[in-house]
Structure 1
Amino acid sequence: MTTKILLPIDHTDDRSWKKALPTALEMAKLYGAELHAVSVIPEIIQLPNLPPNYGSGAKDFVHQKLAAVLEAGGAGDVPIHIEQGSVYRELLKLAHKEGFDHIVMASAKGDFPNYEIGPNLARVVRNAHCTVTVVRD
């Protein structure tokens, strides 16, 4: 039975939440489950010409953008997680560490043979310890 659902969202790509957010909300309502949203900020490579604090404030910025997406989608009360690193690795670590038993993830547009299955989605589906629902665009 589903009790805790994780919804990865990329605030820069509405395909990551346009259909997946309503689906996740409906599933949470149906199962009486908690819904949480997560956004992963890719690792920032420290180059010699960048200041040491380069990228500070990124988590706050992404949190605000994600909160706006959720509010617009009728999910303003959904808890938000902001992680930093490899997208699929951070999703899998969070899902395992926090006891999520379901991940709802949007597909991405792509070309044959990887139509709508990007590398992060493929790795999450292959390696998740829990059920993964793919919401196709």
Structure 2
Amino acid sequence: MATKILLPIDHTDDRSWKKALLVALEQAKFYGAELHAVSVIPEIIQLPNLPANYGAGAKEHVRKAVQAILDGNGAAGTPVHIEQGSVYREILKLAHKDGFDLIVMASAKGDFPNYEIGPNLARVVRNAHCSVIVVRD
């Protein structure tokens, strides 16, 4: 039984959420669970020619994009977490730290040998402390 469900979303790729969001909403309704979304912004390497505040506002931009996706697809009011760093590490850290007991994550079309299991999904499935539902495209 799930009480807290985590849905990773990449706002730049609708395959990361179109089918997975529907499954996550169904699971949340079935179990009476809380649904949360997470989006991870890769860390920006500090280069000498970039200003110190380079990337400021990125978290708010991503939060608004993810919230618009949720609002427009029947998940208005869903809490959104914006993390920064390695995608799979941040998903795993948040899931463990905040006590999520289910992660719903979309697969992606890929090339051999990873037809539909990308590196982030593979690492989340392999290392998660909780159940992971893989929604195939």
TM tier, shorter chain? over 0.9
Unaligned runs of 5+ in 2: none
Aligned twin of 2:85:
85
TM-score (norm 2): 0.99
Letter in 2 for 1:67: Q
Aligned twin of 1:100:
100
For the residues of structure 2 that align with 1:126 and 1:2, how far apart are their CA atoms? Answer: 19
| Residues paired across the two proteins, number | 137
Aligned twin of 2:25:
25
Aligned twin of 1:12:
12
Letter in 1 for 2:54: Y
Aligned twin of 2:57:
57
For the residues of structure 2 that align with 1:71 and 1:26, how far apart are their CA atoms? Answer: 16
Q: What secondary structure, in the 3-state scheme, does the structure 1 residue paired with 2:88 have?
A: helix
Offset of residue 134 of structure 1: 0.2
For the residues of structure 2 that align with 1:113 and 1:16, how far apart are their CA atoms? Answer: 20
Offset of residue 34 of structure 1: 0.4
Where has structure 1 moved over 3 Å in runs of 4 or more? Answer: none
Q: What secondary structure, in the 3-state scheme, does the structure 2 residue paired with 1:73 have?
A: coil
Offset of residue 112 of structure 1: 1.7
CA RMSD of aligned residues (A): 0.5
Unaligned runs of 5+ in 1: none
Aligned twin of 1:72:
72
Q: Percent identity?
A: 80
For the residues of structure 1 that align with 2:130 and 2:115, how far apart are their CA atoms? Answer: 23
Aligned twin of 2:115:
115
For the residues of structure 2 that align with 1:22 and 1:71, how far apart are their CA atoms? Answer: 13
Offset of residue 106 of structure 1: 0.2
Deviations 1:42-97 (A, max 9, x none): 00000110000000100000000000000111101100000000000000000000
Q: What secondary structure, in the 3-state scheme, does the structure 2 residue paired with 1:83 have?
A: strand
Letter in 1 for 2:112: F
For the residues of structure 2 that align with 1:135 and 1:119, how far apart are their CA atoms? Answer: 15
Offset of residue 113 of structure 1: 1.4
